[in-house]
Amino acid sequence: MRRPVVIGLTGSIGMGKSTVAAMFRRLGVPVYDADAAVRALQGPGGAALGRIEAAFPGVTGVAGLDRAKLGAAVFGAPEKLRVLEGILYPLIAETQARFRRRWRHKRLVVLDVPLLFEKGGWRTVDMTVVASAPARVQRGRVLARPGMTRDKFAGILAQQMGDAEKRARADLVVETGRGRLLTWRTVRALVRELG
Ligand SMILES: CC(C)(COP(=O)(O)OP(=O)(O)OC[C@H]1O[C@@H](n2cnc3c(N)ncnc32)[C@H](O)[C@@H]1O)[C@@H](O)C(=O)NCCC(=O)NCCS
Ligand SMILES: Nc1ncnc2c1ncn2[C@@H]1O[C@H](COP(=O)(O)OP(=O)(O)OP(=O)(O)O)[C@@H](O)[C@H]1O
């Protein structure tokens, strides 16, 4: 039996990655959501909680992880972020392997991974797809989110590979700044070709 074509989907904050992922799902393509996997590991009863508490005392409780507290501890402290990644990434790799086994009979699957290029996940996929829009569209979307500030946005951008580099590395760029219909048609054409 042929194994599925594996697409790695990524994009910077506010570029429409989640919306593109939802379009793949609507077309019947299984989508692995790396952010959701991280949240499940860190939520109430999550498999990573014990190890996170041991490394960062005081950041977990009955409700799971206090993300803001841990974020304050690790963002801006690269060596601490590496410790957190060392705890989470082997567990994430397991959940991803389970996803791949579960859908091995499919022709096409998508891995939605925010840090696909930054963390090397691109090496394990057949094709990379980057959701992208002009910077002013991205900015407008992100600053409209509740709780978002210019400083926070700048801080997040500074931590991510830039959009230009992601676009240059992508096998396919899906434009999300020129209406949903265009985005939908692009995703549908890709699924028809590969699915
Ligand atoms: C530290 C945590 C708890 C903070 O959670 P919080 O909800 O406050 O922030 P959020 O997850 O939305 O991240 C904010 C921004 O930082 C970026 N970011 C998150 N983790 C990392 C990382 N390891 N390296 C670089 N950027 C990161 C995200 O892409 C996002 O743009 C959380 O980010 C975390 O557990 N990170 C480690 C796991 C990871 O690498 N996740 C990335 C995607 S799989
Ligand atoms: N053609 C389009 N494709 C995708 N998103 C679009 C499009 N047109 C408008 N949008 C809007 O842009 C926003 C993009 O948000 P979305 O959550 O998909 O981004 P994201 O890249 O997943 O962001 P984050 O990484 O911050 O979660 C949404 O509010 C969505 O409704």
- Condensed to tens digits (0 to 9), the pLDDT of residues 114-139 reads 999 999 999 999 999 999 999 999 99
- Known binding-site residues for ATP equal 14-19
Say what the pLDDT of residue 86 is.
97
Say what the pLDDT of residue 22 is.
98
Cβ pair 170, 128 in contact under 8 A: yes
Hunting for tokens 């509740």 — which residue is that?
Answer: 146
Say what the pLDDT of residue 195 is.
84
Nearest bound ligand to the CA of residue 134 = 2
**Token pair of 25, please?**
């799902």
The residue type of 85 is E
DSSP 46: -
- Say if the ipTM goes beyond 0.85: yes
> Which atom of ligand 2 is nearest the CA belonging to 178?
1
Torsion 136-138-148-155 (CA) sign: negative
- Domains in the chain, start-ordered, CATH in brackets? 1-30+106-195 (3.40.50.300), 44-102 (no CATH)
Say what the pLDDT of residue 155 is.
87
103 conformational bin, left if phi > 0, alpha if psi -120 to 50, beta if neither: alpha
Nearest bound ligand to the CA of residue 10 = 2
**How many angstroms does the Cα of residue 33 sit away from the middle of ligand 2?**
15
Say what the pLDDT of residue 76 is.
82
Q: Give me the residues of the chain with pLDDT under 70, please.
A: 1
Give nearest CA residue, ligand 2 atom 11: 16
Say what the pLDDT of residue 159 is.
82
Give nearest CA residue, ligand 1 atom 5: 67
